[in-house]
């Protein structure tokens, strides 16, 4: 479904701050892949998501989504096909707008802005049905401003919003990192349910090793702009925290000398 072919990316080319991050990274994501992405700070995890979402362009290589070459498409052209949720709950929703308005905005993503679309009540039952699966009572808060919701409720709303237009790919960038442990568990369980129900191919960056082990069918580890580990199937199911940490030590030690 998604193919990254030989991606090269250098920041601040020709500048004193020049930093070459990717030198020919390739990755193939299948339709039913839920991939957890782990790795050290500065490994390039968010940059990878920025490249897939179109927030950042690349210097060389190509990006193919369901057979379509999207390499030269900007973020706004990709946003109907690719949804993204960030660490900061306020980035995925508009706090000054109501739950209903946020959902209307998400449903009309990619369409020309028209205020009447935001207040159109015809999708109310669709919104209520979608919110019900969260089991957070948000279906009774359609007219409440999002700024009045908790961080967990906002991230859950962002998840519903991101799946509303049936994207082909979901990008989760440490989307539970700003939540307390209990809420983070709830949001992860909701994430897993939505990913499975909507059959979304998903790339999830996380520093939470427990989540990386428990969720998804595949795990990749990044280090210094390289994918140094890619496990799936039984191998992923059998991963333990200790095994993953020791694999990380092995492969990062090896990459220091390669
Ligand atoms: N827009 C940018 N301009 C310049 N350098 C950047 C930019 N974005 C990322 N970088 C650099 O690229 C490298 C990788 O950053 P990135 O944010 O992708 O790492 P990460 O793996 O997500 O790290 P963390 O786990 O700490 O969030 C870092 O050295 C960072 O400073």
Sheet strands side by side (includes 169-173): 82-85, 169-173, 201-205, 34-39, 218-223, 226-232
pTM score, two decimals?
0.89
| Mean pLDDT computed over 139-162 | 90
Q: Which of 208, 207, 212 is nearest to 239 (CA)?
A: 212
Mean pLDDT of all residues belonging to the chain? 88
For the chain, what's the residue count?
A: 258
| 159 belongs to a structural domain | no
| Mean pLDDT computed over 69-94 | 87
pLDDT given for residue 150 in this prediction: 87
Give Rg (Cα) of the chain: 19
| 201 belongs to a structural domain | yes
| 157 belongs to a structural domain | no
Q: At 241, which CATH number?
A: 3.40.50.300
Q: Tokens 């707008």 belong to which residue?
A: 97
Any ligand 1 atom below 6 A from CB of 27? no
| 65 belongs to a structural domain | yes
What domain count does the chain have? 1
Distance 139 CA to ligand 1 centre (A): 38
Distance separating alpha carbons of residues 51 and 15, to the nearest angstrom? 21
| Mean pLDDT computed over 216-231 | 93
Distance separating alpha carbons of residues 126 and 19, to the nearest angstrom? 46
Instruction: Using most ligand atoms within 8 A of CB, pick from 7, 22, 39, 47 the residue to mutate for ligand 1.
Output: 47
| 148 belongs to a structural domain | no
Residue 18 makes CB contacts below 8 A (sequence gap 6+) with 10, 11, 12
CB atoms within 10 A of CB 52: 23
Please say if the pLDDT value at position 163 is more than 90. no
Any ligand 1 atom below 6 A from CB of 41? yes
Ligand 1, atom nearest to 48 Cα: 18
Asked if 143 and 119 count as a contact pair (C-beta separation under 8 A), the reply is no
Question: How do residues 98-145 score in pLDDT, each as one tens digit?
Answer: 999 999 988 887 666 555 555 667 788 889 988 988 888 889 999 999
| 83 belongs to a structural domain | yes
Q: Tokens 């709830």 belong to which residue?
A: 186
| 142 belongs to a structural domain | no
ipTM of the complex: 0.96
| 100 belongs to a structural domain | no
3-state DSSP percent of the chain in helix, strand and coil, to 5:
40, 25, 35
Distance separating alpha carbons of residues 52 and 3, to the nearest angstrom? 10
Any ligand 1 atom below 6 A from CB of 206? no
Residue span of the structural domain in which 21 resides:
2-92+170-257
């Amino acid at each position: 479904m998604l193919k990254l072919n030989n991606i090269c990316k250098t920041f601040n080319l020709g500048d004193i701050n020049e930093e070459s991050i990717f030198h020919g990274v390739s990755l193939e994501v299948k339709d039913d892949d839920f991939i957890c992405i782990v790795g050290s700070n500065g490994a390039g995890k968010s940059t990878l998501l920025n490249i897939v979402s179109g927030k950042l362009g690349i210097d060389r290589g190509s990006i193919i989504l369901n057979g379509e070459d999207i390499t030269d498409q900007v973020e706004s052209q990709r946003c109907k096909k690719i949804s993204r949720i960030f660490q900061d709950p306020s980035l995925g929703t508009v706090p000054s707008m109501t739950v209903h308005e946020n959902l209307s905005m998400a449903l009309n993503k990619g369409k020309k802005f028209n205020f009447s679309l935001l207040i159109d009540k015809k999708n109310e039952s669709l919104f209520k049905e979608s919110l019900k699966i969260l089991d957070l009572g948000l279906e009774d808060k359609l007219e409440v401003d999002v700024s009045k919701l908790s961080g967990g409720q906002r991230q859950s709303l962002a998840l519903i919003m991101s799946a509303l237009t049936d994207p082909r790919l979901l990008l989760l960038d440490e989307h539970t990192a700003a939540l307390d442990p209990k809420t983070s568990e709830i949001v992860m369980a909701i994430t897993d349910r939505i990913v499975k129900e909507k059959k979304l191919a998903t790339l999830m960056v996380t520093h939470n090793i427990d989540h990386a082990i428990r969720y998804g069918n595949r795990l990749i580890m990044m280090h210094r702009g390289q994918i140094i580990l890619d496990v799936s199937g039984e191998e992923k199911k059998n991963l333990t925290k200790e095994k993953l940490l020791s694999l990380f030590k092995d492969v990062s030690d090896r990459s220091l000398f390669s």
